[in-house]
Chain A
Amino acid sequence: MTDPLAPRSFLVRNPSVLWVLGLLAAFCLLVTLLSPSLGMGVISTSFVKTLGKTLCLCLAALAMDVVWGYTGILSLGHMAFFALGGYMIGQWLMYARTEEIVLSALASDPLPPTAGEIAQGVATQIFGVVGSSEMPVIWAFAHSLPAQLALVVLVPGLLALVFGWLAFRSRVTGVYLSILTQAMTLALSLYLFQNDTGLRGNNGLSGLQNLPGLASAGQDAVSLWFFWASAAALALAYLLLAWATSGKFGSVLRAIRDDEARVRFLGYPVEGYKLFVFAGTAVLCGLAGALYYPQAGIINPAELAPIASIYLAVWVAIGGRGRLYGAVIGAAFVSLLSSWFTGGRAPSIPLGFYTINWVDWWLVLLGLSFVAVTLFAPKGIGGLFDVSLGRRSPDRKGAPLGPDDGSLQEKEATE
């Protein structure tokens, strides 16, 4: 018999890693070959962007799976962290790009422009829409790419840390915690909708697809670069999270999910673990957002409305929570299907008395599938792999053997 305690290699513990990375690499190759810039141009630049964005959503879903599927915290705020990451990179993209435009406009002047004139020009350009020409304080680092990249990590991370500390410390769990995270998301979104917050209110940040200094590269090429970067980020995150969740750390997380009080009595600082996971996954979401929004081109406060985070939970549920590949499958499958249905490409179904128009009915379909998955297939699409591998979990329906049957097995005891 093999020793179940013997240390097994990373890949043996995580057979899905090879599959996911292999399929991802093949997918990258395929998209590259079909892309307009390096390949045959079978697919459009905007479709390359859609695929790249989908990979970023998969990355956010991975984070969501760790915080919800493994640790049991149904956060309805992770897309807010995702959007914050987008805002942070967006500030630099917009600032640097506007600066270029201002410089070229001032180049025709007889005198070289002063730093003050440039700053003034940039501020007027960016904030004209909200009736201001002052550069807000939160744009203090917008000129610096390294600083804004640091903020991509720091802003979601610190917000999650502070929020999580307050929530976990008072032992808020379950539905109440979900509501609290949703309230945080809603408050943040409403706040950003205001014009005087320094992030251009409901206009949001736009023109993010234009990379400063690379105007000559063209969107065909840029879209492919971001696609590759998104794929690389997803691959790295998958490796990292597979490593983290397959060892003892993952075992503690699943134990917290199933019975956190019991974990405390084993001496584990449950709140510390939750905070670690909550903030860590918030950072991952921030990074995913920083890759997503340059591909989307625009970000506005609607992006961090609570519904976005609810979608994230739905993807993970449909894909199968508690397993990393489930999250990837769910996010890719549902978000691509969603953009197909809502993009008006799905054929309407005429019923004679009524025509089913998918743009309107897609959400109903999605909601119904979510309910169906929750009720009838709690393991989601990922559960199909268990079925095909003949794996099943113990099903006692919560009833233990009677107290006087001793250490008999279920089947032995029924005789």
Chain B
Amino acid sequence: MTALLEVSGVCVTFDGFRAINNLSFTINEAELRAVIGPNGAGKTTFMDIVTGKTRPDEGSVTWGERAVSLLKMSEAAIARAGVGRKFQRPTVFEDQTVGENLILALKSRRGPLSALKFRATGAGRTRVAELAREVGLADQLGRKAGELSHGQKQWLEIAMLLAQEPRLLLVDEPAAGMTLAERERTTRMLVEIAKTRAVVVVEHDMDFVRRLNCKVTVLHEGAVLAEGSLDHVTANPQVIEVYLGRG
């Protein structure tokens, strides 16, 4: 099986501070992966690198069957290539309705002329309604996203991520702001999505990670500290010291 995303030997320095230190990471098609690590380990920065927001000083990031480098592509081009992202802090367009947010995200041609000609077709509308139902926002479609609660914004952002139909989903702390029941629902959704797409989930909640039941990568000080099943990494003395021991 070929890797969908391959990050190797990546380093990032912010004003002399090495946030990412020789990081290597690989994920295959239709794979679910949890990334854990203490605050400041570089989890969000890792996603910034893959999505083109932060350019690494060294290393390579390659994508897809033809192993194209993502480093020379713009953020928008990377997104169009099939990398979707959910941010740590929910970022939806607060001044627009839930429906408009979803239509913005819905897979479609992205140029200005296509947007001018765009009409929500039957299929597109059905898809938006379906996604809204999946995340419990079906009766909120006409409401401004700014009126939603923190948890609902999280859901909206997850729905927007799905609407893009990406091949790789980078999900940063999806469960923050959710109740226990909602966390369980999120888990089920992510597991379901990972049957057809690659999903990387960053999460602090260990119960959440356990329910994902997948391979875990532990980051620490910008590098991979351990990788394997949750039981395997949690038994690792280094991991216990830097991460688990603190809690």
Chain A residues packing against B (C-beta within 8 Å): 1, 3-7, 244, 247-249, 251-252, 254-255, 258-259, 261-270, 272-273, 276, 393-394, 396, 400-410, 413
Q: Nearest Cβ distance between residue A93 and chain B, in whole angstroms?
A: 34
**A409-B125 in contact (CB<8A):** no
Let me know if B144 is at the binding interface, CB within 8 A: yes
Q: Which of B7-15, B56-64, B73-81, B217-225 is near enough to bind chain A?
A: B73-81
**Distance (whole angstroms) from the CB of A14 to the closest CB of chain B:** 15
| B95 and A254 contact, CB distance less than 8 A | yes
Question: Chain B nearest CB: distance from A271 CB in Å?
Answer: 8
The proximity string for B residues 116-135 relative to A, scoring 1 for CB distances below 8 Å and 0 otherwise, is 10111000010011000000
The answer to whether A252 and B149 touch across the interface, beta carbons within 8 angstroms, is no
B155 and A407 form a contact (CB under 8 A): yes
Residue among B79, B118, B147 making CB contact with A264, cutoff 8 Å: B79
* B residues contacting the other copy or chain, number (CB 8 A): 55
Q: Does B38 sit within 8 A of A, measured CB to CB?
A: no
Contact present for A7 and B120 (CB under 8 Å): yes
Beyond A258-B93, A267-B164, whether A4 also contacts B118 by CB under 8 A is no
Residue of B nearest to A406 (CB): B179
Give Cα distance in the complex from A269 to B149, angstroms: 30
- Looking at A267, A272, A276, A402, which has the most chain B CB atoms within 10 Å of its CB? A267
Q: Which residues does chain B contribute within 8 Å of A251, judged by CB atoms? A: 96, 100, 103-104
Cβ B105 vs Cβ A266 within 8 A: yes
Are the CB atoms of A264 and B149 closer together than 8 Å? no
Tell me the residues in window 131-159 of chain B with beta carbons closer than 8 Å to chain A beta carbons. 136, 139, 141-142, 144, 146-153, 155
On whether the beta carbons of B182 and A247 are closer than 8 Å, the reply is no
The answer to whether the Cβ of B176 comes within 8 Å of any Cβ in the partner chain is: yes
The B77-121 residues at the A interface (CB cut-off 8 A) are 77, 79-80, 84-85, 87, 90-91, 93-97, 99-100, 103-105, 110-112, 115-116, 118-120
A403 touches B146 (CB 8 A): no
Complex contact B93–A5 (CB within 8 A): no
CB–CB B115/A248 < 8 A = yes
Q: Are B176 and A403 in contact (CB under 8 A)?
A: yes
A406 touches B149 (CB 8 A): yes
A251 to B79, CA, bound (A): 19
Number of A-B contacts (CB under 8 A): 142
Output the nearest chain A residue to B105 by Cβ-Cβ distance: A266
- B18 at the A interface (CB under 8 A): no
Query: Closest 10 A-B residue pairs measured CB to CB?
Result: A4-B142, A406-B179, A267-B79, A407-B151, A394-B146, A264-B75, A248-B118, A267-B80, A249-B115, A394-B147
Using CB atoms, name the residue of chain A closest to B115.
Answer: A249
Please pick, from A5, A263, A393, A407, the residue contacting B178 in the complex, using a CB distance under 8 A. Answer: A407
Q: In the complex the two chains form, what is the Cα distance from A233 to B49 in whole Å?
A: 48
Complex contacts, B79 vs chain A, CB 8 Å: 264-267
Cβ A267 vs Cβ B96 within 8 A: no
Once the chains bind, are B150 and A401 in contact (CB under 8 Å)?
A: yes
Measured between C-beta atoms, what is the minimum distance from B209 to chain A in Å?
A: 18
A256 (CB) vs chain B CBs: closest residue = B93
CA–CA, A400 to B95, complex, Å?
A: 14
User: B150 touching A5 by the CB < 8 A rule?
Assistant: no
**Provided the pairs A265-B79, A267-B80 are in contact, do residues A5 and B141 lie with their beta carbons within 8 angstroms?**
yes
- A264–B97 contact, CB under 8 A? no
Q: Which residues of A are found within 8 Å of B97, using beta-carbon distances? A: 4
Contact B91 A262 (CB under 8 A): yes
Residues from chain A with a CB closer than 8 A to the CB of B93 are: 254-255, 258-259, 262
**Nearest-neighbor residue (CB-CB) of A277 within chain B:** B112
Q: List B149-205 residues whose CB lies under 8 Å from chain A.
A: 149-153, 155, 160, 164, 176-179, 182
Residues of chain A with a CB closer than 8 A to B160's CB: 266
With A254-B96, A396-B146 already in contact, the answer to whether A265 and B75 are too (CB < 8 A) is: yes
Q: Write 15 A-B pairs (CB below 8 A) sorted by A numbering.
A: A5-B99, A7-B119, A251-B104, A255-B104, A259-B93, A266-B164, A267-B164, A273-B115, A400-B150, A402-B150, A404-B177, A404-B179, A405-B150, A405-B151, A408-B149
CA–CA, A259 and B145, complex, Å: 14
The answer to whether B152 touches A407, judged by C-beta atoms less than 8 angstroms apart, is yes
Beyond the given pairs A269-B112, A270-B76, A407-B182, 14 more chain A to chain B contacts, judged by CB atoms under 8 angstroms and listed by A's residue number, are A248-B103, A252-B104, A262-B93, A264-B74, A265-B53, A265-B76, A266-B160, A273-B115, A400-B90, A401-B177, A402-B150, A402-B177, A407-B151, A413-B149
B residues less than 8 Å from A263 (CB atoms): 104
CB B52 to nearest CB in A, in angstroms, measures 8
Q: Identify which of B94, B112, B139, B153 gathers the most chain A CB atoms within 10 Å of its CB.
A: B112
